[in-house]
Amino acid sequence: MPEGHSENSNTLVVQADEFLFETVTQENGNATVIRFQLRNPEIRAGDVLLVLSGSDIHFHGLIGRIEEGLAIATDRRSLLPSGLVN
């Protein structure tokens, strides 16, 4: 295992009304694959993104790739509206 790498995954939790993202893929009006700016250097590919609206989960997906400060996450059962691009 590389030095400084943990076996545990992290979870990035954000509120939907404060979350800026771009819809890459949508299904039935919900964003299933999104791209967003990653500002937390502790988050890596394989970690989880959780987008909440109050206590309701709108997106619970795996961060699959991070390139040039942008992360891609996927949740095939997303409830995050694809039109919610701030």
| 80 located within any domain | no
| 33 located within any domain | yes
DSSP 44-70: -TT-EEEEEETTEEEEEEEEEEEETTE
Domain count, the chain: 1
Per-residue pLDDT of the chain (86 residues; tens, 9 = 90+): 344 555 688 999 999 999 999 999 999 999 999 999 999 999 999 999 999 999 999 999 999 999 999 999 999 999 999 964 44
State the CB neighbour count (10 A cutoff) for residue 84: 18
| 55 located within any domain | yes
pLDDT at residue number 1: 37
Cβ contacts of residue 36 below 8 Å, gap of 6+?
Answer: 19, 20, 21, 22, 49, 70, 71, 73
Q: How many CA atoms lie within 13 A of 84 on its CB side?
A: 21
Range of the domain at 38: 11-74
* This model's pTM is above 0.75: yes
pLDDT at residue number 86: 45
CATH number of the domain enclosing 20: 2.40.240
Can you read off the two tokens belonging to residue 85?
A: 């691009």
| 32 located within any domain | yes
| 62 located within any domain | yes
| 84 located within any domain | no
pLDDT at residue number 6: 54
pLDDT at residue number 65: 95
| 53 located within any domain | yes
| 6 located within any domain | no
